[in-house]
Structure 1
Amino acid sequence: MFHCPIRLLFVGALLVSTLFCTNGMAAQLPAADTAQLRRHLVALTTTPQPRNYLHEASLNQAADYIKAELAAAGAHPTEQSYQVQGRMYQNILSSFGPVDGPRLVIGAHYDVCGEQPGADDNGTGVAALLELARLLGHQPLTCRVDLVAYTLEEPPFFRTPQMGSYVHARSLHEAGVPVRGMIALEMLGYYDDRKNSQDYPFKPLRWLYGSRGNYVTVAQKFGNGRFGRRFARLYKKTAALPVKRFKAPAWLPGIDFSDHLNYWHFDYPAVLLTDTAFYRNKQYHEAADTLDRLDLRRLALAVDAVLATVVRLATE
């Protein structure tokens, strides 16, 4: 006569486990929508001219689109404008969670290099940022999360104080803002399951990480602090696609090839989340970096893991 209550108790426990646990660590969260990701990528890659620093109208069209999508997600986006060579450029800033206190920063650059559509570089990073905004808008956060779309990441401004991420990181430093960590979303949509589709800056790394370009990398430098270790561990535990954790000296080629390097400059811990860029995608900075070459399903999975990891970090 005790079998029924015990069975009900077991079923109830199973339902609770299914409802509240993902990979044993995170509450069930809404999933990224590939249709939304595609919509963002279409908007970014079909501006009248490529969204580079020479075509201000197209760059501003992309910025206006980003602002509108962030506002639709429930944020109150603002512009961080600055002048370079007599022209005005802008970062787009938004936030979720409490106004005060330490914050997490998640950023992606929306400009491109040269005369190309930049679907993967860095349309996928921006699309991921916007989809993350839509999903974060429904989450109770105890830590502020800032989402930032940067301008002027690409040459000829890379590694200069004119990078949008440098301008943003410096503004946080000068204001004395406490930053728990920064995540750079840089090229997240290109995957190749074939052997020998993945290159490395140091060939023996292939023995450790494999030759198939079917994973996402969390890259950081040595001495990056607790945040980097924590993010990489949680992201890998949560993700439903392969994840490689990569830590190396800051001088290794590729380890600092995005906006996170400017947060390192101001002693903020920061990580790079990427599909490894030109080490895999051979149409990097080329006209063939187009939407049709991307895997939106795996891009969505990468976003899902960012959401779960950020929610965990922002509610601890």
Structure 2
Amino acid sequence: MKRTLSALLLLFAVRGMNPAAAQSLTADTVRLRQHLELLTSTPQPRNYQHPAVLDSMAAYIARQLRGAGAHEIGEQPYTVRGQSYRNVLGSFGPADGPRLVVGAHYDVCGDQPGADDNGTGVAALLELARLLGQQPTLPYRVDLVAYTLEEPPFFRTNNMGSYVHAAALHAARVPVRGMVALEMLGYYDDRRGTQHYPIAPLKYIYGSRGNYVTVAQKFGNGRFGRQFARYYRRAAALPVKRFKAPAWLPGIDFSDHLNYWKFSYPAVLLTDTAFYRNRSYHETSDTLNRLDMRRLGLAVDALLAVVTAH
């Protein structure tokens, strides 16, 4: 115990902060819940058929990023089927140099509240913004991006907000260290048999309890994914499993990170495994009361540790 305490004190000293300050820089589960309450209580579902609702969500996200202290707040509007949609961006850290992109989509599929999909990703993004705003310095630029139009009928098309963002980075020749997609991070179940996989034998490797966060990436994704998974696992106070597979495996590219792969940017997916665990995926039962705020907060804490340390 004394050895562990000494190691922690040394870590705090190296990072230039005291233990009390470090303990205060943790995710606030009350704030996470408040974000989710707002996201899931819109007058109409936040899908592409209700652009006014999406615009109100974009404005809310922009206000939160500004309040968190992002030094650049911007929108990336574009037109689909004659209607305007927009990504929302906020930057932290040095203005120049390679950047890390962390993103989450704020739209939903169909007429459902989308608490886990992807309210938890957006809530995590906004809480990460608040915590980044309290950092005295950051080692590199961090761009937080809230995407529109990730869901069907636009998934796998160039109309996805993440495609628009990745393509713009590529066109401008912006150097990118890597990208992290936050996709469904709030549903956990400790019972046996609650975790499923695209290939059944994987349960003998990863277990059958839906109690962990996954860092998923494709083969050949470069050093960024390996390092992110390693450091995230070390920092996390909840179980973390690294999942690496061919890009063709169902689910491995089911979020916004796929569009960064298209431009040869290294990218990973941070998730509770979505429909392989949460049976309310794309259903009206995807509600706030089914989510675990404590473990969602722990997922954000580990993300903050990785982003601020490397």
Q: How far apart, CA to CA, are the structure 2 residues paired with 1:246 and 1:21?
A: 32
Residue 22 of structure 2 corresponds to which residue in structure 1?
28
Q: How far apart, CA to CA, are the structure 2 residues paired with 1:101 and 1:152?
A: 29
Give the 5 Å matches for 1:111-130.
111-130=107-126
Residue 52 of structure 1 corresponds to which residue in structure 2?
47
Residue 64 of structure 1 corresponds to which residue in structure 2?
59
Is 1:16 paired with 2:9? yes
Residue 300 of structure 2 corresponds to which residue in structure 1?
303
1:20-45 C-alpha deviation (Å, 9 max, x unpaired): 589xxx99360000000001001111
Structure 1 unmatched ranges of 5 or more: 1-9
Secondary structure of the structure 1 residue equivalent to 2:193: coil
Residue 201 of structure 1 corresponds to which residue in structure 2?
198
Sort the Cα spacing of 1:120 and 1:13 in 2 relative to 1 into closer, same or farther, 3 A: closer
Q: How far apart, CA to CA, are the structure 1 residues paired with 2:274 and 2:150?
A: 14
Give the 5 Å matches for 1:180-191.
180-191=177-188
Structure 2 unmatched ranges of 5 or more: none
Q: How far apart, CA to CA, are the structure 1 residues paired with 2:292 and 2:93?
A: 31
| Matched residue count | 301
TM-score by length of 1: 0.92
User: 1:18: how far off?
Assistant: 6.9
Residue 158 of structure 1 corresponds to which residue in structure 2?
155
Sort the Cα spacing of 1:234 and 1:18 in 2 relative to 1 into closer, same or farther, 3 A: closer
Is 1:106 paired with 2:115? no
Residue 143 of structure 1 corresponds to which residue in structure 2?
140
TM-score by length of 2: 0.94
1:236-286 C-alpha deviation (Å, 9 max, x unpaired): 011000000000000000000000000000000000000000000000000
Task: State the AA in 1 paired with 2:78.
Answer: Y
Q: How far apart, CA to CA, are the structure 2 residues paired with 1:176 and 1:18?
A: 36
User: 1:177: how far off?
Assistant: 0.1
Give % identity: 71
Task: State the AA in 1 paired with 2:43.
Answer: P
Sort the Cα spacing of 1:229 and 1:14 in 2 relative to 1 into closer, same or farther, 3 A: closer
Moved more, 136-145 or 261-270: 136-145
Residue 249 of structure 1 corresponds to which residue in structure 2?
246
Does the 8 Å CA contact 1:20/1:28 hold for their aligned counterparts?
no
Does the 8 Å CA contact 1:47/1:61 hold for their aligned counterparts?
no
Does the 8 Å CA contact 1:21/1:28 hold for their aligned counterparts?
no
